[in-house]
Amino acid sequence: MSLPRLTALALLVASLSACQSLFQPAQDKPLPSQREAWEHTKPGCTGNECPLVNIDTLHFADEPALDALVQQRLLALTGLKPPPASLQAYEQQFLASAAPRNASYLQAKVREQHDGLVIVELSSYLDKGGAHGEPGRGFINYSRAQHKALTLQDMLVPGQESTFWLAAQEAHRGWLIDAKLAQDPGFVKQWPFQTTDNIALGQRAVLLKYDVSSIAPYALGHIELAIPYARLNGVIKPELVPARR
């Protein structure tokens, strides 16, 4: 091959590489995020019993869809219907009507990044001054390739949902054994297995997070189950199973 043709080929390869880096995310590198956190008390209030709002969230400048989704999911955790237009609007609304010692906490953090996925964990805690507060949890499984959050249906091979939940039941039985609760028939009857919407495609296992008082007493907190990918062969879509490293 002549030198001019080699040079032209090299330029073409370089051009294609530049296009790839321009239009496709470098998914082997973590998606950068910027933390935004603040805590404000009720205007004009002084003392230790002032109502407060604490926000600890993230911004993703390179993924506007994920950036908007994080705020949307945090606002959904407030339980207000319709949800406020923004976190700032929620703060103003909460503090305007909050009683002394009331508090609201909202947090978003990146739990994992792998294989083009960003796993964001969302947390909330609402304290109305009672014996205990109301905590909440949620996950976002964001695909950088598809620019969207994945649902359970997106994760599963069609027709495999019942098999997935059977594997989750096995993980639940394992948790009962590890927690030394499997031999307590009263506990097993009162706190049976349930499904959950809080599912994350972790790097080592599929994670299921449960709201408090769903499959265990409030005092045990948010129960988290893990299903190894080996148990989900043919259940999770192959392209979503993390690459072995």
The string of DSSP codes covering 204-227 is SEEEEE--TTTSS-GGG-S-EEEE
Residue 166's CATH number:
3.90.640.20
* 145, pLDDT greater than 60: yes
145 and 234 co-located in one domain: no
| pLDDT single digits (tens) 102-132 | 999 999 999 999 999 999 999 999 999 888 9
Which domain-ending residue is among 117, 149, 181? 149
- The residues with which 37 forms a beta bridge, in sequence order, are 56
Strand duo 34-41 + 134-143: pairing: unpaired
Q: What are the angstrom distances between the C-alpha of 134 and each of 74, 102, 169, 209?
A: 14, 12, 26, 16
Structurally, the chain folds into a number of domains equal to: 2
86 and 50 co-located in one domain: yes
Are the C-beta atoms of 207 and 226 separated by less than 8 Å? yes
130 and 90 co-located in one domain: yes
Are the C-beta atoms of 188 and 216 separated by less than 8 Å? no
The residue length of the chain stands at 245
User: In whole angstroms, what is the distance from residue 66 CA to residue 61 CA?
Assistant: 9
Which domain-ending residue is among 149, 182, 200? 149
pLDDT band at 18 (very low <50, low <70, confident <90, very high): very low
Lowest-pLDDT range of 24-33, 120-129, 142-151, 154-163:
24-33
Mean pLDDT of the region 185-206: 97
| pLDDT single digits (tens) 55-84 | 999 999 999 999 999 999 999 999 999 999
Lowest-pLDDT range of 126-135, 158-167, 193-202:
126-135
pLDDT band at 28 (very low <50, low <70, confident <90, very high): confident
Question: Considering only CA atoms, which of 33, 57, 37 is closest in space to residue 108?
Answer: 57
Structural domain boundaries, residue 79: 34-149
pLDDT band at 196 (very low <50, low <70, confident <90, very high): very high
pLDDT of residue 27: 73
Give the burial class of 68: count Cβ atoms within 10 A of its Cβ; 0-12 exposed, 13-18 middle, 19 or more buried.
exposed
